[in-house]
Structures are given as C-alpha cells and as structure tokens.
Amino acid sequence: MSTTTKVLTPEIIIKNDYDGVFESRVKAAIELNQKNNTPMVNKIKVNAGPYRSYCMGFKRVSYDTVEVDFYSASRVFGFEHTIEDIAKAIELPLREY
C-alpha cells in the first residue's frame, strides 16, 4: 500500500501582471509541484514590470512566502526561465535545525 500526501495549493497574490500571463505560468508551476508531490510555500506574490535586468527573479519573504518578479517584456520576446524554474523557486525550503 502506497501513501501519498496531498500538496496544498498556495495562495497567489497578484501585485502586477499583464493579461494573466505570469499568473498562468505560476499556476503551471504549482500544478507541476503538485504532480511531483513537492511541498510549496503558502503564499506566492507575483509582480511584473519593465526595466528588469532578469527575466525572472524571486525573493523568499519568509519561510512560507515567496515573491516572484518577472520582466514584463519577456511575455512578448520569449522567456529565459522555464516552468521548472518557477516550480523550484516556490518549493518549501527545508527547515534548519
């Protein structure tokens, strides 16, 4: 008998997005983590805008909250990050003891 745990869906808080493009990429990353049974943070803050020196960046705000920031022009010119990159950014980190 195998045991699996249900990975909960994080709350997504949109600060700035363009036609839901970046929210949909984050949702795809959430689905990937759920499929792989990978624990995730409880909250994901999504922001996007111009004048970024990166396609995607992220910052761990707290143990269970991550802020993901996207360069808005990448939705037109193509993404340098993958869904797997986003999935890795929103994983729940191991607690240090």
- Residue 27 in any domain: the answer is yes
pLDDT digits (tens, 9 = 90+) for 51-72: 999 999 999 999 999 999 999 9
- Residue 55 in any domain: the answer is yes
- Residue 32 in any domain: the answer is yes
- Residue 82 in any domain: the answer is yes
Report the DSSP beta bridge partners of residue 91: 40
pLDDT band with cut points at 50, 70 and 90 for residue 2:
very low
Domain, as residue range, for 37: 14-89
- Residue 96 in any domain: the answer is no
What is the total count of domains within the chain? 1
- Residue 2 in any domain: the answer is no
pLDDT digits (tens, 9 = 90+) for 7-24: 789 999 999 999 999 999
- Residue 5 in any domain: the answer is no
Can you give the pTM of this predicted structure?
A: 0.89
Query: Tell me, what's the pLDDT at 94?
Result: 74
